[in-house]
Amino acid sequence: MSRLQKQVVRVIREYDLFKANDRMILGISGGPDSVALLSLIFNINCLGAIYSEVTIAHLNHLLRGRESEDDEQFVRNLAKRFELPVIVERKDIKDAARRQKLSLEEVARKERYKFLENAALKVNANVIAVGHNADDNAETILHRIIRGTGILGVNGMRPKRRLAPFSKIELVRPLLFSWRKDIVTYLKEKQLSYRIDSTNFEKDKFRSKIRTELIPFLEKNYNFGIKKSLIKLGEITTQNYYFLKLQADTLSEKVFIKKNEEKDKVPGEVILDIHKLKNAPPILQQIIIREAIVRLGTPLREFGYENYKDILNLSKQKKTFINKGIKKYLDIKIEENKLYLSNKKYHLEEKPVLEEVVLKIPGETKLVKLKYVIKMEVREIRNGFLEKFKKNKTKYNEAIDFSKINMPLTVRSRIQGDRFWPLGSRGIKKVKDFFIDNKIPVMERNLVPIVTMNGQPIWIVGFRIDDRVRITKETKKILIMSFVALSMSIPVRLPSES
Residue by residue, DSSP assigns 111-132 as HHHHHHHHHHHHHT--EEE---
Q: Are residues 217 and 277 in the same domain?
A: no
User: What span, in angstroms and rounded, lies between the C-alpha atoms of 105 and 113?
Assistant: 13
Calpha distance 99→106 (Å, rounded): 13
At residue 205, the pLDDT reads 75
Residue 250, domain member (yes or no): no
* 495 assigned to some structural domain: no
What letters, b where the CB count within 10 A reaches 16 and e where it falls short, cover 101-124?
eeebeebbebbbbebbbebbeeee
Whether residue 440 sits in one domain with residue 313: no
Its domain, for residue 284, covers 256-342
Q: What is the pLDDT of residue 226?
A: 97
Per the domain annotation, does 243 fall within a domain? Answer: no
Last residue of a domain, one of 315, 342, 369: 342
Q: What is the pLDDT of residue 490?
A: 40
Query: Does 240 map to a domain?
Result: no
Last residue of a domain, one of 284, 312, 342: 342
Decide if 86 is inside a domain.
yes
Same domain, residue pair 396 and 451: yes
Is there a domain that residue 456 lies in? yes
SS3 of 57, please?
strand
| Domain stop point among 291, 311, 342 | 342
Would you write out the chain's pLDDT as a tens digit for each of its 498 residues? 789 999 999 999 999 998 888 999 999 999 999 999 999 999 888 777 677 889 999 999 988 889 999 999 999 999 999 999 999 999 999 998 888 887 888 888 889 999 999 999 999 999 999 999 999 999 999 998 998 877 878 888 999 999 887 788 999 999 999 999 999 999 999 999 999 876 654 555 788 889 999 999 999 999 999 999 999 999 999 999 989 999 999 998 899 986 555 555 556 788 899 999 999 998 999 899 888 888 887 767 667 777 788 888 878 776 555 556 665 667 787 777 888 888 765 444 445 567 889 999 999 998 877 778 999 999 988 888 888 888 888 889 999 999 999 999 999 989 988 999 999 998 999 999 999 888 886 667 888 899 999 999 999 999 999 999 999 999 999 999 998 877 544 433 333 333
Looking at the fold, whether 182 and 260 belong to one and the same domain comes out as no
> Which residue from 322, 316, 318, 266 is spatially nearest to 295, judged by alpha carbons?
266
The reply to whether 77 and 125 lie within a common domain is yes
Binding-site residues: 29-34
155 & 207 share domain? yes
The total number of structural domains in the chain stands at 3
Residues 315 and 365 in one domain: no
* 144 and 40 share one domain: yes
Please provide the DSSP assignment of 289-354 as one string. HHHHHHHTT--GGG--HHHHHHHHHHHH---SEEEEEETTTEEEEEETTEEEEESS-SS--SS-SS
Does the pTM exceed 0.85? no
Q: Are residues 26 and 121 in the same domain?
A: yes
Q: Say if 490 falls within a structural domain.
A: no
pLDDT score for 324: 61
Residue 270 within any structural domain of the chain: yes
- Please give the Cα distance from 295 to 236 (Å, whole number): 26
**Residues 75 and 173 grouped into a single domain:** yes
pLDDT of 259: 59
177 shares a domain with 34: yes
Q: Residue 83 belongs to a domain with what CATH number? A: 3.40.50.620
| 53, 59, 60, 62: CA torsion to nearest 10 | 180
DSSP state string for 393-460: --TTEEEEEGGG--SPEEEE---TT-EE-BTTSSS-EEHHHHHHHTT--HHHHTTS-EEEETTEEEEE
Q: What is the CATH number of the domain that holds 326?
A: 3.30.465.60
Question: Do 81 and 145 sit in the same domain of this protein?
Answer: yes
| Among 179, 167, 143, residue whose Cα is nearest residue 4 | 179
Q: Which residues are annotated as a binding site for ATP?
A: 29-34
> The domain spanning residue 453 has which CATH number?
3.50.40.10
Q: Which residues pair with 54 in a beta bridge?
A: 24
